[in-house]
């Protein structure tokens, strides 16, 4: 069974004058997204490293709607996104997203690396 792994990262967050305020805004945005899109979420969005966050969505679903929600609520701060579509090797979805593993996650990690390297806002690997 396929899933959609979403990894997002704030752009140049260390240079933000209001970094702490943005971190709290990100936390609130993730909480709201997890409630609002709960029907599509397999493993809720959480901050995984500094200003990076991840979540696991059902496949198929309208992940563009989730990304638009992030963009609206985090504006004017920009973020990059890597999306991987594939299977997971761990199927205990009571675990947090950072405890899960599998091809969907590898593809999303590769996608976010490419997004950063080539300065794209979104890269999807299927």
pTM: 0.95
Using the Cα atoms of residue 107, residue 109, residue 110 and residue 114 in order, give the sign of their dihedral.
positive
- What is each CA distance from 25 to 19, 57, 64, 84, 101, in whole angstroms? 10, 22, 20, 25, 28
The DSSP 8-state label assigned to residue 1 in this structure reads -
Which whole number is the average pLDDT over 93-120? Answer: 95
What is the percent of the chain where pLDDT is above 90?
A: 87
Q: List, for residues 6-31, the tens digit of each pLDDT value.
A: 999 999 888 888 889 999 999 999 99
């Amino acid at each position: 069974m396929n899933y959609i792994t979403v990894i997002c990262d704030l752009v140049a967050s260390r240079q933000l004058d209001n970094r702490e305020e943005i971190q709290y805004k990100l936390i609130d945005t993730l909480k709201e997204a997890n409630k609002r899109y709960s029907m599509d979420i397999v493993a809720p969005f959480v901050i995984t490293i500094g200003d990076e966050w991840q979540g696991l969505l059902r496949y198929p679903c309208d992940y563009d709607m989730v990304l638009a929600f992030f963009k609206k609520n985090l504006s004017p701060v920009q973020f990059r996104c890597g999306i991987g579509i594939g299977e997971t090797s761990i199927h205990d979805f009571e675990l947090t997203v950072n405890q899960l593993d599998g091809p969907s996650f590898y593809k999303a990690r590769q996608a976010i690396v490419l997004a950063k390297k080539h300065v794209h806002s979104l890269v999807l690997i299927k």
